[in-house]
Structure formats: structure tokens, C-alpha cells
């Protein structure tokens, strides 16, 4: 609820929006059945660009800094304390480092194909954005994109590279994107449907 909304107006507001809330929650549950969010515990699996990596969690109380390493289809995670929070923090740092590599290589290839350049790359954890391209060509990508299939990340990269030529979402932009990213509508719809599941 908005912070300024008087408490007495909350219940009527929720009642007025009940049908929309229930529809949205139902869609979210259905989407999570198709694409389950990560579960943070030993032997559980986390998504990584379309793969499912099995967590191998070790608690080492004398450890100073958490360590995460991929070994084939497993992620070996050493943390200094038990529980989901230390594991989540270690995994997020690992995903952020991997995002710089995964996004960077795709971005370099996409701008080369487009005959463009960008001025910088940042990896962030925005709540409401997957990526952005500033007017000076600085790129920002959400590390949570690595929780999605690889073609979704590829699409978001192409979307932002298209913004180097067209800064708005005009018809010209969508035509340019369609020429560079076949089936972009499917990827956009996937993000709308499953984006809330891309979390640790």
C-alpha cells in the first residue's frame, strides 16, 4: 500500500482489487510450477542460464570468507555459518561475478554485430529493471538474469544494444529489435510471466 494511504482505506482498497490480486497470485503460482524458484539448501538446485546446478554446501565455522566454485553440474559452497542467509549472500556474490563474464561476452559480440560501442558495464540487483542503457552508452544489467535460460539473457542484451541506436520504445525501436532478435516477443513474454521467480 502507498505510505500515505490512511489505514482505514486499506481494507476497502484491497477488496476493490481482490479479483486482480487473486488472478495475479494464481498466475504467479502457475508460473512457478513451470519454472521453480531456487531453493537454498544442501543438495537442492539453483538455475544458471538454463541449467540446474546442485548445491554442495559446507559449513566451516573457522572460514573468514565464503567460497563458491562450480564443478560440472555442482556448485560447491563453503560458508562460515549455517542457514539460508549466509548461503544466499555467497551465491549472490558468485552470480554477480559470473554475470560480468556472461553479460560482458554477449554484450561485446552484440555491439560488434551492430557496429556500435558502449561506454561501461555495471552489474546490479535492481528490483524492477532487468537492464538499462544510458544516453552515454553505459550499460547496466541485473545479475538475476543468470537465473533465466540463456536465450532470455541473449534477448535482454540485444534489447539494450538496440537502445544505442534508438533510446525509446517507439515502433522504430521494436522494428530494429525484431531484425536483431528473432522471436523477441516470446522472450519478453517469458520475462513478464516468470520474472518474479528469478530470485534466490
Average pLDDT of the chain is 92
- Burial degree of 94 (CB within 10 A; 0-12, 13-18, 19+): buried
Name the band, by pLDDT with cuts 50, 70 and 90, for residue 35: low
Name the band, by pLDDT with cuts 50, 70 and 90, for residue 28: confident
Q: Which of 33-37, 93-97, 195-199 holds the top average pLDDT?
A: 93-97
- Work out whether the CA dihedral 29, 30, 35, 36 comes out positive or negative: positive
- Which of 144, 150, 140 lies closest to 127, judged by CA? 144
Please write the tens of the pLDDT for every residue from 38-85. 778 899 999 999 999 999 999 998 898 999 999 999 999 999 999 889
Long-range contacts of 175-180 (CB under 8 A, 24+ apart): 180/110, 180/113, 180/114
Q: What is the mean pLDDT of residues 21-34?
A: 77
Q: What is the mean pLDDT of residues 112-138?
A: 94
Name the band, by pLDDT with cuts 50, 70 and 90, for residue 99: very high
Which grid cell is 189? 513474454
Q: The pTM is what?
A: 0.82
Q: Output the CA–CA distances (angstroms, integers) from residue 28 to 32, 73, 144, 153, 182, in the order listed.
A: 6, 28, 17, 21, 26
Domain residue ranges of the chain, discontinuous segments joined by +: 1-34, 85-197
List b or e across 135-153, with b for residues whose CB sees 16 or more CB atoms inside 10 angstroms.
Answer: eeeebbbbbbbbbbbeebb
Check: CB of residue 183 under 8 Å from CB of residue 129.
Answer: no
The percentage of residues in the chain with a pLDDT greater than 90, rounded to a whole number, is 70
Q: Has residue 164 got a pLDDT over 80? A: yes
**Whole-angstrom Cα distance, residue 31 to residue 190?**
10
Please write the tens of the pLDDT for every residue from 115-124. 999 999 999 9
Q: Which CATH superfamily is 85-197 part of?
A: Metalloproteases ("zincins"), catalytic domain (3.30.2010.10)
Amino acid at each position: 500500500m502507498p505510505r500515505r494511504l490512511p489505514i482505514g482505506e486499506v481494507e476497502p482498497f484491497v477488496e476493490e482489487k481482490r479479483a486482480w490480486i487473486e488472478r495475479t497470485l494464481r498466475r504467479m503460482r502457475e508460473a512457478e510450477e513451470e519454472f521453480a524458484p531456487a531453493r537454498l539448501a544442501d543438495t537442492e538446485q539453483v538455475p544458471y542460464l538454463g541449467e540446474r546446478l546442485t548445491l554442495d554446501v559446507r559449513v566451516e565455522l573457522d572460514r573468514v570468507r565464503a567460497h563458491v566454485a562450480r564443478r560440472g553440474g555442482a556448485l560447491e559452497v563453503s560458508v562460515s555459518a549455517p542457514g539460508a542467509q549466509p548461503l544466499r549472500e555467497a551465491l549472490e556474490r558468485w552470480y554477480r561475478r559470473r554475470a560480468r563474464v556472461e553479460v560482458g561476452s554477449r554484450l561485446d559480440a552484440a555491439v560488434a554485430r551492430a557496429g556500435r560501442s558502449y561506454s561501461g558495464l555495471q552489474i546490479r540487483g535492481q528490483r524492477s529493471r532487468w537492464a538499462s542503457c544510458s544516453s552515454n552508452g553505459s550499460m547496466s544489467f541485473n545479475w538475476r538474469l543468470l537465473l533465466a535460460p540463456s536465450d532470455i539473457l541473449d534477448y535482454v542484451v540485444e534489447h539494450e544494444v538496440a537502445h544505442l541506436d534508438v533510446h525509446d520504445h517507439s515502433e522504430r525501436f521494436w522494428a530494429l529489435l525484431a531484425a536483431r532478435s528473432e522471436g523477441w516477443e516470446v522472450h519478453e513474454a517469458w520475462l513478464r510471466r516468470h520474472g518474479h521467480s528469478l530470485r534466490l
